[in-house]
Structure 1
Amino acid sequence: MRIELSVSEYFIIGFALLLLGRTIHYLAVTRYLRERGVLLAVDRSPIRDWSEWAAYRKARLSDHQPLTWWYVLWTIQIVLCFWMIGWFAFAGGALKIGRTSHFVDTVADADGYRTVFDVEQSGYRHWGFAASGLIFVAVGFAMPALFRLGIVGKPAAWMQKWLPRVFVVGATLWTVAVFAATFVDYRRAVDALHNAKAKVVEGRVDHYSQVPTKSESFDVNGVKFWYSDNVIIAGFNHTAFHGGPIRQGLPVKIWYWRGQILRLQIKPGEANAL
């Protein structure tokens, strides 16, 4: 089974649902119970949210009011439960999270090769990963308001002062560092391809091996290659598990530099030829 979302998109959806649930809980449930004076009765419950939802439902029914937000909160809870199960299934290999690879896929050249990856044509591919740090920057800026409104529990006074700053500064530095590192790696890879710094090897894929959801490796005329969907690099890293083209016996022509595949050409019709 595959979910056509990147790992970062999958994470962001769950994180957004979590924040949405906390906001609705405060605005709809906590305020309502506080106005009725029943909030303190459930404050010491081991699962406070569920106890508050139960108290909210009971109070709304006694007032003959609709349970719209109660249903919304439980729907979010169920979705988040499946979201968590998805992470475990992904870790165990039962679920694929990631968009199907979109290769260059040019027409075959005179030798029958088709280019399925070119580092320059693929462009800088890690905007989402680098920008994911901005989520925590936003959380840092929103944290004082979240504390003030009671959407999240208030920590000690010193944490209320320093935690937002740590989030903002730390996440900003992380975002800048990740973007700089990945973009510099990309530009160096493009430069290596342009300036003939990359070596070329041609032959059939041999000793192909894969670790589902993690990595794959193979040899071409004694040159070893290894990559993973989970490792952020400028070069080719689309494993067969996530729709990549590499198979045992596949004729390939590879431009490589510092262990990264900068251009990949294949003859797909001859993968099983002897």
Structure 2
Amino acid sequence: MNYSVVFDAADNFVPARFPFLIGFAVAILGACVIGAILLRQESQRRALTGDRPRVRVVGLLVALLVVVMASAIVVALTALSSPSQEETARAIESSPVVEGLIEHFHPMPSGGHDTERFDVAGVHFEYSHWNMSQGFNQDVTAGGPIREGLYVRIHYVSIDRPSFATGLSYGTIVRLEIRRESHTFESDEVERSGLAISLRTN
């Protein structure tokens, strides 16, 4: 059978460390801004009163430093433990596979507040373009390709927790392949055969 790959999580790979790096950058920026404001206010107060630095201000600065250091540790641990794109591709190849016709297709309503879902050979799948996931989540409201009766082959990862919409356990799609229509190839073969016969008779 001929299939077209319409989604592969390895091609849409976003390293898990990226959100932490963004959070770390925001934490540093926030700490620098807050620290600069506190230091400016404290220096102005000392210039007017001549008093020593207040314990509260020093404590806040120390707390900001601790937050930045803790964020750095989390980012470092995440960077070391998060899988690479090659490891993700290998995991997809070894993941469970199911193929067959899409059944019980429930498209995402135009108003949202639901999931798009279907079954293939007894395996249940749910997703939504509102979900932050590296799995397939392109529902029909976002131009998704899934339709009732479509023949597909799916690599997936089982999710043990129940869906909020149905209460059922479901699979996250990490590779979606749709079978190409065979009549297209058959018509091409017929057309080529007819052309060959025409050339021979001429």
Common topology (TM > 0.5): yes
SS in 1 for 2:19: helix
Does residue 143 (structure 1) correspond to residue 41 (structure 2)? The answer is: no
CA distance in 1, matches of 2:147, 2:15: 24
Question: 1:128-207 counterparts in 2 under 5 A?
Answer: 128-133=18-23, 134-149=25-40, 156-176=56-76, 179=79, 183-184=82-83, 189-194=88-93, 196-207=94-105
Contact 1:214–1:229 (CA<8 Å) still a contact in 2? no
Distance 1:160-1:257 versus aligned 2 partners, 3 A rule: closer
Could you say if the C-alpha distance between residues 184 and 158 of structure 1 is closer, same or farther in structure 2, counting changes exceeding 3 Å?
A: same
> For 1:229 and 1:180, how far apart are their aligned partners in 2?
29
Q: Distance in 2 between matches of 1:173 and 1:230?
A: 30
Could you say which structure has the larger radius of gyration? 2
Contact 1:201–1:253 (CA under 8 A) maintained in structure 2: yes
The match for 1:263 among 175, 183, 186 is 175
More helix by share: 1
CA RMSD, aligned part only? 3.7
Q: Does the Cα contact within 8 Å between 1:189 and 1:257 map onto a contact in 2?
A: no
Q: Corresponding residue for 2:140?
A: 240
* Amino acid aligned to 2:105: H
Flag structure 2 segments of 5+ consecutive residues without an equivalent.
42-53, 159-170, 182-202
SS in 1 for 2:30: helix
Please tell me whether the aligned partners of residues 97 and 155 of structure 2 are also in contact (alpha carbons under 8 angstroms). Answer: yes
- Once residues 135 and 205 of structure 1 are traced to their aligned partners in structure 2, the CA distance between those partners, rounded to angstroms, is 45
How is 1:2-81 mapped onto 2 (pairs within 5 angstroms)? Answer: none
The structure whose RCO (Cα within 8 Å, separation 6+) is larger is 2
Q: Distance in 2 between matches of 1:116 and 1:266?
A: 7
CA contact (8 A) 1:228 1:239 kept: yes
1:223 has 2:123 as partner: yes
8 Å Cα contact 2:105-2:119 kept in structure 1 = yes
Partner of residue 9, structure 2: 119
Q: 1:225 Cα deviation (Å)?
A: 1.1
- Asked whether the 8 Å contact 2:6–2:177 carries over to 1, the reply is yes
Distance 1:120 1:222 in 2: 25
TM-superposition CA deviations, 1:39-83 (whole Å, max 9, x none): xxxxxxxxxxxxxxxxxxxxxxxxxxxxxxxxxxxxxxxxxxxxx
Q: CA deviation at 1:264?
A: 0.5
Instruction: Give the strand-richer structure, 1 or 2.
Output: 2
Cα contact 2:106–2:118 (8 A) shared by 1: yes
Q: Give the drift of 1:222.
A: 1.6
Unpaired runs of 5+ residues, structure 1, are 1-109, 270-274
The 1:186–1:174 alpha-carbon spacing in structure 2 relative to 1, beyond 3 Å, is same
Query: Alpha-carbon deviations, 1:143-179, whole Å to 9, x = none?
Result: 32132345xxxx9425522331243134334444555
Does the 8 Å contact 1:185/1:233 carry over to 2? Answer: no
Counterpart AA for 1:172:
A
Paired amino acid for 2:68: V
C-alpha separation in 2, matches of 1:180 and 1:231: 26
Alignment match of 1:208 (pick from 106, 112, 135): 106
CA positional deviation for 1:224: 0.5
